[in-house]
Amino acid sequence: MAGELFPVARVCAVLGRVARCLLLGGRKGHVAVVDWRSKKLTCEFHVHETLRDVQFLHNEMMFAAAQKRYLHVYDSTGMELHCLKQHLLINSLCFLPYHFLLVSASERGSLHYLDTSTGQLVAEHKVRLGPLRCIAQNPHNAAVHLGHVNGTVSLWTPNIKTAQVKMLCHRGPVMSVAIDKEGWSMVTAGMDALVKVWDVRTFKPLHSYRSPRPALALDVSQRGLLAASCGRLVQVWRGGLRGRSEAPYLQHSLSGDGSSLQFVPFEDCLGVGHSSGVSSLIVPGAGEPNFDALELNPFESKKQRREGEVKQLLEKIPAELITLDADDISKVEQG
């Protein structure tokens, strides 16, 4: 994709869960939603202020934008739905689809959990470890992983006000965190130019890679490929989670400094946002070829999307059930 849409500053590129739409956010306030397959522009507008992060909600009909001061919610046409003034100076966003929770990390060191189905603030935690600029969610247990400037990564849940786990991962600030789809491996990148792979079950390091520059963005594909954006260079390691790879699977040089990247679900493609625009790279073997249409259907119709939204609300998991051990609920005695 050409970089003419975003000629200035860095670009944050986010794909929906079914890879139907691509959400783009420029640092200086340019927002656009593009159909990923046809490359047609769905909506485009300018917020006329700094934009720090963007995130799709439960489907691609709504998205959140962390602007200069407050958190705003828009629909797919670009109309503003909400201005959340209790969320100040938000740096990073992530969404828990099975709990309908929008998680935001702020410059002031606060972590917010917002229920998007009711509009209520479920929890607000004071992390007290400096500005929060690095966030990731574990798809296995819905725990939130935060990277900090002192080199630690902390794990949080909405029902406990303190960090459940704190891990010293790097000798400098943590730049990015990524979790694989099984939720068993965590990948971290630090200012020390190291990319480390951790076992989340034992909280021990498995192996590490030396990057040419500190990696500002990480992502793990559905088939376990690891991608890192190191300045103007994008590196992809194959089998980098199970064992240490001797050399990258592929490398690509960008026309600008990379700021975000994400593998396209169910496709062998990698989207990269950088200071010169957006690029899409072909990565053979990255996407899952078989999909469960009852869970995520890349070819769903409008009627199926509406029915799926109602089903998601009926099967919504309460925030109180989020724990580090996802099997705790099965250990509760009945009667």
The answer to whether 134 and 104 have CB atoms below 8 angstroms apart is no
Residue 214's SS3 state is coil
pLDDT for 333 equals 62
Distance (Å, rounded) from C-alpha 306 to C-alpha 186? Answer: 34
Q: In this predicted structure, which of 79-83, 178-182, 299-303, 313-317 has the lowest mean pLDDT?
A: 299-303
Flag whether pLDDT at 179 surpasses 80.
Answer: yes
- Residue range 224-253: average pLDDT? 90
pLDDT over 90 (residue 155):
yes
Structure confidence at residue 325 (pLDDT): 82
Name the DSSP class of 159: T
Asked whether 155 and 163 are in contact (CB, 8 A), the reply is yes
First to last CA, the chain: 58
Rounded Cα–Cα distance for residues 265 and 16 (Å) = 9
Could you read off the pLDDT of 111-150 as tens digits, one per residue?
Answer: 999 999 999 999 999 999 999 989 999 999 999 999 999 9
- Would you say residue 246 has pLDDT above 70? yes
Q: With 90 as the cut, is the pLDDT of residue 44 above it?
A: yes
Amino acid 167: pLDDT? 94
Q: What is the pLDDT of residues 5-32, one digit of tens each?
A: 333 345 676 777 777 888 999 888 999 9
Average pLDDT value over all residues in the chain: 88
Average pLDDT of span 291-310: 85
Kindly report, residue by residue over 229-243, the tens digit of the pLDDT: 998 999 999 987 888
Q: Quick one: pLDDT at residue 7?
A: 37
The pLDDT of residue 14 is: 76
Q: Give the least confident one: 130-134, 226-230, 243-247, 315-319.
A: 243-247
C-alpha–C-alpha distance, residues 58 and 71, integer Å: 17
- Identity of the residue numbered 120: Q
